[in-house]
Amino acid sequence: MTKVAVASRLFNLMPQLKSEMLAAYPEAKIATSSVAAEDDLIEFLTGHEVAVIGIERFTERVLANLPDLQIIACCSAGVDHLDPALLKGHGIRMGWIPGVNKHAVSELALGLMIDVVRNVNWANVQLRNGKWAPPPRGRLLRGATVGVHGCGNIGKEMVKLLQPFDVEILACDREDDPDFYQRYDVTPVSADELWARSEILTIHLPRNSTTIGMYTAEVLDKLRPGVFLINTARGSIVDEAAVAERLADGRIAGAAFDVFDVEPVDAPELIASPDFVGLPHMGASAREAWLAMGRAGMQGITENAVPEPGVYPFD
């Protein structure tokens, strides 16, 4: 029988997932605490052919010390924590299902949109501080021009959720989807047009060599004055210090991030801005999303392939 070791803590946190795993693989070894450190990961996975993981990282040292490992099955939404060249060099196959938490992340992004345009978090903070203060004048989401940067699995769900709000939707993606765009009344645009026209801009890009550092200070200055910026994608895509500066002078009216360059977050000026809403990377923190992610990891045990550097999702 295939020797499976489950490093992802989802299976210990959710008895239903643990039961499903043990029903399929009765001898599976399931972690009860973090095994993210190199030595802990090596010790935990030694002698096993399959690793079911969350965001654990596999260095050359880790892989060199796991000669029996054949498959890494991912429960994660992205795979930017894995090095395809290392996996390929060791002949290790990877199982991964894209878009597994698309509903959870898109719902959170919609909530953050409404929050920042209506100053919900600001008003809540005032109330908690004993102040019954009317918030700064907000605006409706309804009727706005919303830009979706990255119209893949999550971006498409975002478009669907925006339908009742009678918004104008602009989308920028490296691959157009004419049928989807026509069905949901989406206008495909270049990045420059997206930045110039969007009153609300939501980022749904993967983290890779083409997107890391994309939203520099120079790019942020291309955004429509008074834009609201939402990032539930990945940290390192947006220059956080530059966003803080533009919130302070009003070039950006409001921003909401669920992801940061360094996590736990280390961006005091950004966090201190009254026009900023920050969350602790909780886009997938919904019971249904955790179940879907865990089951995707189980599916990856049997559905997998050797990853190729430069080829999706490592492009």
Q: What is the CATH number of the domain that holds 123?
A: 3.40.50.720
Nearest to 205 by CA among 232, 178, 184: 232
Q: Are the C-beta atoms of residues 205 and 236 closer than 8 Å to each other? A: no
With a pLDDT cut of 90, the percent of the chain lying above it is: 93
Task: Give a yes or no: residue 309 inside a domain.
Answer: no
- This model's pTM is above 0.85: yes
Task: Give a yes or no: residue 308 inside a domain.
Answer: no
pLDDT at 137 over 90: no
Mean pLDDT of 75-98: 95
Paired residues of 215 in beta bridges:
238
Is the same domain home to 118 and 13? no
Task: Give a yes or no: residue 163 inside a domain.
Answer: yes
Q: How far apart are CA 217 and CA 166, in angstroms?
A: 31
Q: How far apart are CA 23 and CA 250, in angstroms?
A: 56
Mean pLDDT of 81-99: 96
pLDDT band per the 50, 70, 90 thresholds, residue 133? confident
The boundaries of the domain holding residue 267 are 102-278
Paired residues of 29 in beta bridges:
5
pLDDT at 129 over 80: yes
pLDDT band per the 50, 70, 90 thresholds, residue 214? very high
| Residue pointed to by tokens 């643990």 | 18
Task: Give a yes or no: residue 222 inside a domain.
Answer: yes
Is the same domain home to 291 and 211? no
pLDDT of residue 26: 97
Determine the residue type at 228: F
pLDDT at 315 over 90: no
pLDDT at 209 over 90: no
pLDDT at 151 over 90: yes
pLDDT of residue 106: 98
- Residue 120 exposure: Cα atoms within 13 Å on the Cβ side: 12
Is the same domain home to 108 and 77? no
Nearest to 15 by CA among 285, 289, 294: 294
Q: How far apart are CA 111 and CA 100, in angstroms?
A: 19
Q: Are the C-beta atoms of residues 308 and 314 closer than 8 Å to each other? A: yes
Residues noted as catalytic:
234, 263, 281
50-53, strands of its sheet edge to edge:
29-30, 4-6, 50-53, 71-74, 93-95
Is the same domain home to 166 and 228? yes
pLDDT at 1 over 80: no
pLDDT tens, residue by residue, 235-270: 999 999 999 999 999 999 999 999 999 999 999 999
Mean pLDDT of 219-239: 97
Is the same domain home to 54 and 112? no
pLDDT band per the 50, 70, 90 thresholds, residue 278? very high
Task: Give a yes or no: residue 13 inside a domain.
Answer: yes
Is the same domain home to 230 and 248? yes
- What is the residue-averaged pLDDT of the chain? 96
pLDDT at 135 over 90: no
Is the same domain home to 244 and 121? yes
Is the same domain home to 147 and 273? yes
Task: Give a yes or no: residue 223 inside a domain.
Answer: yes
pLDDT at 75 over 90: yes
pLDDT at 161 over 80: yes
Please tell me what DSSP assigns to residue 238.
B
Burial class (CB in 10 A: 0-12, 13-18, 19+), 134: exposed
Mean pLDDT of 52-64: 97
How far CA 226 is from CA of 8, 167, 203, 249, in Å, comes to: 41, 17, 17, 10
pLDDT at 229 over 80: yes
pLDDT of residue 136: 76
3-state SS assignment for residue 135: coil
Q: How far apart are CA 241 and CA 244, in angstroms?
A: 5
Total domains in the chain come to 2
Q: Are the C-beta atoms of residues 200 and 110 closer than 8 Å to each other? A: no
**Per-residue tokens: 41:** 């990961």
**Per-residue tokens: 119:** 């100053």
Alpha-carbon torsion 14, 18, 23, 24, what sign? positive
Is the same domain home to 42 and 21? yes
Question: 137 vs 149, which has greater pLDDT?
Answer: 149
